[in-house]
Structure 1
């Protein structure tokens, strides 16, 4: 039995929830900043990050950390085709923007305001801007025309940006159109953090 640990608002968790939409699994919704859930998380996952997947088979438990590794594990488990190198690069772009935005979001929730003059914030914002422009061009070129794992991850990134109001998406019309085109998929609406 597959058990996915995460929160309903995490874009990294949501991508796995969407990917598992047609696979029997249990979703354990954690409040990762609440003491009790943090204690439960650290017992199984010393990184204390979500998502985390637990696969119980034949009386043994395999715990997998990180959305990218979870996806690879599921691909292997269900004998799905591996991602191409181009798709791996797409995931690297998506993950880098997501990581930067998560870090700035956590700092903001810690009452540390983004200061344009501070190196950390300058580098994160430069990365997010460059990545979103590149992803916009890739969508415009048709590289995300199939609903595959990179597309799911891209959707989750854009939707999280819009949900949390993390970045001005003005001018990124291909990304916004991609978001609109996929917003009514059943697995998308079923995992909407709103």
Structure 2
């Protein structure tokens, strides 16, 4: 099994966590923008090759990895909604981050300001919830933690502005399988 991606990608990190938790043998192949544009129709990472199986999105990769071990992927609608909320915030934040590199900022675009507001709105909503401090986490919770960690690493959010989410992330950082995949370790 080959997982293509970057060490800093939160989408790739989520896949790496599941692979590690399940003790799956895999080869991680560092992949940049040019390589992903040539090797994946989505022109992004992660993508996975496992024999005849070729997947091009982290959600399909996660479902595949879970099914291989008879595990649920977002086993109920509430967890799937959490996964989608975290993914929406993550997608918006990644796009803002990449556009900022090209000097396209929220000051230049009402649409981008709406994306920034969307992230804050989602985080505010999620900060109202109670979060587990345990060793077994759902894929919705893992996606949220990968987003929070990446956004903090890239200085996109101040997680201290969201105290319950900050506590949730602190708890996740104590899990070896989460801490050992932190983007700063690449």
Q: TM-score, structure 2 length as denominator? A: 0.88
* Partner secondary structure for residue 4 of structure 1: strand
* Gap regions ≥5 residues in structure 2: none
Cα deviations across residues 91-149 of structure 1 (Å, max 9, x unaligned)?
0100000000010000011122331x6222221012101111122122x2x46864222
Structure 1 unaligned blocks of 5 or more: 33-37
Q: Deviations over 1:147-176 (max 9, x none)?
A: 222221111111111100102334310000
| RMSD of Structure 2 on Structure 1 (CA) | 1.8
Q: 1:183 and 1:150 mapped to 2: Cα distance?
A: 16
Question: What is the distance in 1 between the residues matched to 2:127 and 2:168?
Answer: 9
Which deviations, in whole Å up to 9, do the C-alpha atoms of 1:46-83 show, x marking residues without a partner?
11111111111xxxx21101111111122222221242
8 Å CA contact 1:13–1:51 kept in 2: the answer is yes
Query: Counterpart in 2 of 1:86?
Result: 78
- Paired with 1:186 and 1:143, the residues of 2 have a C-alpha distance of 16
Look up the match of 2:44: 49
Q: Which has the higher helix share?
A: 2
In 2, distance between residues paired with 1:144 and 1:151? Answer: 11
Structure-1-length-normalised TM-score: 0.85
Could you tell me how far apart the structure 2 residues matched to 1:14 and 1:81 are?
Answer: 19
Aligned length: 180
